[in-house]
Amino acid sequence: MIVYFSGSARELEKDAPVFREIIQCLQDHGAVIANSWFEGAALRGVLPQSMERWREIVSEAAMGIRDADVVIVEGSGRSGFGVGFELAEALRLEKSTILLISDTERDNSYAAGLEQTRLRVVFYSRKDIKINLSRELADVRIREAS
Amino acid sequence: MKVLFAAASTSYARNMEVYERIKKQIQALGHEVYFDGQDATAVESTGSVRSLDDDDWKVLCDREVGAAQECDAAIFDVSDKATFGVGFMASICVSKGTPTLFLLRDDTVGGSFVSGLQRACLQRKSFNTANVAGKVRKFLEGVRV
């Protein structure tokens, strides 16, 4: 199963531990992560500034979503433009999409209001994220197989 | 023509004068405007993010997604930290080929996902308070439905 993972790079220092747990959980389930932006960005610690590099990033994201079986989006309150853009693109392409929102940011997450056929919205806390994500991945596998 | 205008809710308080100018310019050209700030009563003057319960978010999302799907032209302020909702609506618009204008304040710095987007239907213009209405007018005059 090929998975595209989308999350905000705005506060990467703060979000990196959660993103790592999500990616580890996906890999434990045999998923292949379609995009590798996260570790590269975490290592650099700064976002690229050149327009040329951003064009490549946007293009890679479009290809990653197109090629993925499942799209996982971490869309908690502080998520930015790119995450929203990618989620809409995944839904347009009718990808099975799991939207993860932190329990603590439920009230200020635009994403919490989205309702679409191919979208599963999952509220999580740090301690149960792996359990919730595992359950959702199993459901996706059953839906895709039937 | 139906015109969608949207910006990050965190920008409303700071930019209301600019947004009113944009809204008035759209209306002055005889168009119907959907401005997502007009009902944003939950946005405090401090510029903090909206805080709503799940049902209210659903109502807001339905309305905004509907506006993005139905509009003939779209204008987004993507200066500063454009948010998830703005990205979601912009994605719907450009994927449909809707003529779309990204407005960036003159003093916007640095690269971002926004700067990497390229679509035939997408234009970018820098603006300030004094010239924003003219930029909006020029964009809308070039839109053919």
Average pLDDT over residues B36-58: 56
A7, closest residue in chain B (CA to CA):
B84
End-to-end CA distance of chain B: 8
- Identify all chain B residues contacting A82, using CB atoms and an 8 Å cutoff: 87, 112-114
Structure tokens at B99: 């003529």
Confidence of residue B6 (pLDDT cuts 50, 70, 90): very high
Work out the number of other CB atoms within 10 angstroms of the CB of residue A50. 12
Rounded Cα distance between B94 and B89, Å, is 9
Per-residue pLDDT of chain A (146 residues; tens, 9 = 90+): 899 999 888 877 788 888 888 988 988 888 898 876 666 665 666 666 678 888 888 998 999 999 999 999 998 867 889 999 999 999 999 999 999 988 887 766 777 778 777 888 888 888 888 888 888 888 887 777 77
Task: Give the residue with greater pLDDT, B70 vs A139.
Answer: B70
Average pLDDT over residues B14-27: 91
Q: Against a cut of 0.95, is the pTM above it? A: no
Q: Write out the DSSP string of B93-128.
A: HHHTT--EEEEEETT--S--HHHH---TTEEEEEE-
- Pairing between strand A2-6 and A70-74? parallel
Indicate yes or no: CB of B78 within 8 angstroms of CB of A81: yes
Average pLDDT over residues B98-119: 88
Task: Give the residue with greater pLDDT, B99 vs A145.
Answer: B99
* A32-36, B102-106, B121-125: least confidently modelled range: A32-36
Rounded Cα distance between A85 and B76, Å, is 13
Q: Does A37 touch chain B (CB under 8 A)?
A: no
Work out the number of other CB atoms within 10 angstroms of the CB of residue B25. 22
**Whether residue B47 has pLDDT greater than 50:** no
User: How many angstroms away from the CA of A31 is the closest CA of chain B?
Assistant: 26
- Identify all chain A residues contacting B86, using CB atoms and an 8 Å cutoff: 81, 84
Q: Dihedral of the CA atoms B80, A48, A35, A100 (nearest 10)?
A: -30
Tell me: ipTM over 0.85.
yes
- Identify all chain B residues contacting A113, using CB atoms and an 8 Å cutoff: 52, 54, 56-62
A8, closest residue in chain B (CA to CA):
B84
Indicate yes or no: CB of B118 within 8 angstroms of CB of A58: yes
Rounded Cα distance between A112 and A90, Å, is 17
B111, closest residue in chain A (CA to CA):
A49
Residue A29: per-residue pLDDT: 86
Average pLDDT over residues B45-73: 76
**Whether residue B79 has pLDDT greater than 60:** yes
**In chain B, what percentage of residues exceed pLDDT 70?**
84
**Which residues of B fall below an 8 Å CB-CB distance to A?**
49-54, 56-62, 65, 78, 81-92, 95, 110-118
User: How many angstroms away from the CA of B54 is the closest CA of chain A?
Assistant: 6
**Whether residue B49 has pLDDT greater than 70:** no
